[in-house]
Chains A and B, each alone.
Chain A
Amino acid sequence: MSAGRDRQGEMGHFLIDDTTAERLLSGGLSPEDAPPGYSGLARLFEIATGPATEAELAGEPAALTAALAALQAGPTVQPAVSHRKSRLARALTAKVAAVTATVVLGAGAAAAATTGNLPGGAQTAVSDALSHVDISVPGPNKHANANATTKSHGHANGGTADGQKPSDQGPNAHANFGQCTAFTAAPNDHANSQATANANSGKDSSTAFADLMADAVKADQTSTSYCQSVLAAHAAADATDTTGPSDTGKPADTGKPSNTGKPLDTGKPSDTGKPSDPGKSASH
């Protein structure tokens, strides 16, 4: 595509190269600098990216007030609805069953299962059993995070804004969910650990949760907060209509390098239901 500066498209208009396209799309190409035939478009793009106007800020009080109320209410408050809620409730029921299963198995065994560390037959059985409650556990001979050992000793610092990848995408998301379920269920030497790096926690130092720690470190979070994200995302993924174009079959929109460490779109629990915004019109 980039070699097309001087070629004409099939519709008679000059093609532009990637650099020019990027400048146009940033709104930063002035009409005077635009290639032949593109000055009108450059101006249109300038306008579309222009500074905020009074009119655009006029709606601020009501919308902002509602959002601030939601901010103060915290992330656990859900809008009181509806048919979706019953679906979510069913999903959560399944998760409770899953938690029960992990407790029965023993948290260590469950964690081992999620990382594929049980003997083959047991691994298959656990994998099959948990598949009935919508949790994916690798079968025998699969090892999630083979390099976790080295990374589990990393420090939770230096969260880079550019390009660190949330590791819980693809199959690992399910493995992490399983681990987090077990992690959450396991007793902790330090109850009420806060959102600070807590490498001395009994759970965090357990080899059974080394994978989890590694992923949490990569996400620049403690295991506890990381698990909250994973569990929230999992619930959100269940509650979200999976036919949405941006739900591409990956769990909860994770793994965007440029959306690094983002909360797996944990706005989604509230994003899935109708908001309680009283200003929302019912007329569609």
Chain B
Amino acid sequence: MSIGAEFDSVLTAAQAGGDWAFAALYRDLNPRLLRYFGAQASSMAEDLAAETWLAVARGMASFSGGEDAFRGWLFTIARRRLIQHWRGVGRRPSSPVAPETLADRPGLDDPEASGLSALSAQQASAAIAASLPPDQADVVLLRLVAGLDVDQVARILGKQQGTVRVLQHRALRRLGEIFSLEALTG
């Protein structure tokens, strides 16, 4: 999911008001956006994504930067939207699902036998978010689903890069335990 070498010309055309170019950006990045929102506010994912694109469209003319920077900008706006949503509903999901709950299914470490492969991308993202404390979920979703690097994630979250790395290692270890055969068989 990326535009690649054509990105600069697509961006320029979109900034000039080219519908096709903006649509190309939308088609490329909206799936990521839906997974990101779907993992954390599933019932509102499409609305939040639409609001994010509205903000992007309004700020489009003055953006400059490459494809990675654009993705970083998009998810900066997206995360702000998500936080506004959580404020509106008075909470954010805060309690990770206990490993035993998710590990109910047999053979998670054998993807083909476990039914893991039947998950959609959004369900997989939601399972990841539900398995982690909020700060770890923030990091993993922005890295994995949004496709941002450590530096970008650190800026969006207002954390040090080292902190982000620590959080992602803890998250991976926890996720590894939950989605592994060892955890199921003891």
**Do A and B truly interact?**
yes
| B128 contact from A18, A43, A44, A284, Cβ within 8 A | A44
Verify A277–B50 contact, CB threshold 8 A: yes
| Contacts between chains A and B (CB distance < 8 A), count | 278
With known contacts A75-B62, A270-B59, A63–B152 Cβ distance under 8 A: no
A39 at interface by CB-CB < 8 Å: yes
For chain B, the bracket of interface size reads: 35 or more
- Whether A246 sits at the interface, judged by CB under 8 Å, is yes
In the complex, which of the residues B73, B147, B165, B172 contacts A262, with contact meaning CB atoms closer than 8 Å? B73
Cα distance A129–B36 in the bound complex, in angstroms = 45
In the bound complex, residues from chain B placing their C-beta under 8 Å from that of A261 are 64-65, 69
A151 contacts the other chain (CB 8 A)? no
Task: Give the distance in Å from the alpha carbon of A229 to the alpha carbon of B59 in the complex.
Answer: 10
Contacts of B19 in A (CB 8 A): 68, 71
B residues less than 8 Å from A260 (CB atoms): 64-66, 69
B27, B49, B140, B149: the one contacting A258 at CB < 8 Å is B149
CB within 8 Å of B: which residues of A? 1, 9, 11-16, 18, 21, 24-27, 31, 37-41, 43-45, 47-53, 55-57, 59-60, 62-64, 66-68, 70-75, 77, 159, 161-162, 219-221, 225, 228-229, 232, 244-248, 253, 256-263, 265-271, 275, 277, 279-281, 284
- What are 15 inter-chain pairs, A to B, with CB distance below 8 A? A9-B173, A21-B169, A31-B111, A37-B177, A40-B110, A40-B180, A44-B116, A47-B117, A56-B34, A57-B31, A64-B26, A71-B19, A161-B68, A268-B77, A279-B50
